[in-house]
């Protein structure tokens, strides 16, 4: 481990845990990277890429979202959320962390990196605070699958109305995670969809902070915002001159085996982004940073950052 952890209070008084990796003093300081993790995981899983960024001269910050990781551990309520707007609360927490980063690194360049659900949160963040960013990196992001997505939205809305936002539901858990794994039968594990690297799959399967059971409000807001963030209004609210890197595997079921994430990239292109880079890795599944070619992915990510962060 190469990080420290601490606790911040959000604007609604809720506490959340964040991780901090300080840039190596042996190289010139380049900027600050904020990481937004995905659904069911936690910020500690990004220790490797964060350490690589440290060695390149970046300080890295990442919080565990509400209902996740060490933030959930504060109240011993893993997967539990009883608020009204999960995405709004998470983005608010992210911005609170951003303000801390700026206070500790004034006048620095600021890069936001989001994976999976974290990429959707990052896309929402950009519609609110895009002018504060110097670059955006999206990993394993998603379009909105109209048929399946609308079925999920109707189902989640109905079940939430009947049972309340704080309760969990096996049907929606299966909808989110079970559907993804069907693409890789016969299955060795329930997590085959995240990577073709069996060691990485097994590490995550054994992770004590891995969560599959969430309050209905979390599932509902992920689907709802997936739809909202793939509408033209969301793309139009993104600053056109913001450098954006989008990467994914062409066997990522979250990105519809390359089709959905390609639609996202084309939407940004239609919006008139002046510096958009899109990379689809052959054979890659959902977590390209944990794939068999992870070293290639990390080198290209670092190279892209280096070219964009030059004065």
What is the CATH classification number for the domain harbouring 295?
3.40.50.1820
How are beta strands 15-21 and 4-9 bridged, if at all? antiparallel
pLDDT by residue, tens only, the chain of 311 residues: 689 999 999 999 999 999 999 999 999 999 999 999 999 999 999 999 999 999 999 999 999 999 999 999 999 999 989 888 999 999 999 999 999 999 999 999 999 999 999 999 999 999 999 999 999 999 999 998 665 555 566 666 666 665 656 566 666 667 667 789 999 999 999 999 999 999 999 999 999 999 988 888 888 888 889 999 999 999 999 999 999 999 999 999 999 999 999 999 999 999 999 999 999 999 999 999 999 999 999 999 999 999 998 76
pLDDT score recorded for residue 235: 97
Nearest residue to 304 via CA among 143, 142, 138, 141:
138
CA distance 267 to 273: 9
Inter-residue long-range contacts of 195-198, CB under 8 Å, 24+ positions, other chains counted:
195/285, 195/286, 195/287, 195/290, 195/291, 195/292, 196/251, 196/283, 196/284, 196/285, 196/291, 196/292, 197/290, 197/291, 197/292, 197/294
CB 275 within 8 A of CB 305: no
Q: Which domain holds residue 265?
A: 4-308
The pLDDT score that the predictor gives to residue 150 is 54
What's the rounded Cα separation, in Å, for the pair 63 and 200? 22
What is the pTM assigned to this prediction? 0.95
What's the number of domains the chain is made of?
1
Could you tell me the end-to-end alpha-carbon distance of the chain, in angstroms, rounded to an integer?
31
């Amino acid at each position: 481990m190469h990080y420290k952890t601490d606790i911040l209070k959000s604007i609604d008084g809720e506490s959340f845990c964040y991780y901090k990796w300080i840039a190596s003093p042996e190289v010139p300081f380049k900027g600050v990277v904020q990481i937004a993790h995905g659904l069911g995981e936690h910020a500690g899983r990004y220790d490797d890429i964060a350490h690589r960024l440290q060695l390149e001269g970046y300080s890295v910050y990442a919080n565990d979202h509400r209902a996740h990781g060490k933030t959930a551990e504060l109240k011993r309520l893993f997967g539990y959320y009883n608020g009204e707007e999960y995405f709004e609360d998470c983005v608010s927490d992210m911005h609170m962390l951003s303000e801390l980063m700026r206070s500790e690194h004034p006048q620095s360049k600021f890069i936001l990196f989001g994976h999976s659900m974290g990429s959707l949160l990052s896309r929402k963040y950009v519609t609110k605070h895009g002018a504060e960013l110097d670059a955006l990196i999206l990993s394993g992001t998603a379009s909105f699958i109209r048929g399946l997505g609308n079925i999920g939205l109707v189902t989640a809305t109905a079940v939430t109305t009947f049972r309340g936002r704080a309760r969990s539901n096996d049907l929606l858990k299966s909808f989110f995670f079970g559907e993804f794994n069907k693409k890789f039968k016969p299955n060795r594990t329930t997590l085959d969809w995240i990577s073709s690297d069996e060691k990485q799959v097994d590490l995550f399967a054994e992770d004590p902070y891995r969560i599959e059971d969430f309050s209905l409000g979390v599932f509902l807001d992920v689907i709802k915002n997936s739809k909202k963030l793939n509408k033209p209004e969301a793309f139009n609210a993104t600053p056109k001159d913001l450098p954006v890197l989008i990467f994914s595997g062409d066997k990522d079921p979250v990105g519809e085996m390359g089709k959905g994430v390609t639609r996202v990239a084309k939407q940004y292109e239609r919006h008139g982004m002046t510096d958009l880079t899109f990379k689809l890795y052959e054979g890659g599944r959902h977590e390209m940073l944990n794939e068999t070619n992870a070293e290639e992915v990390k080198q290209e990510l670092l190279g892209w950052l280096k070219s964009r962060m030059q004065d």
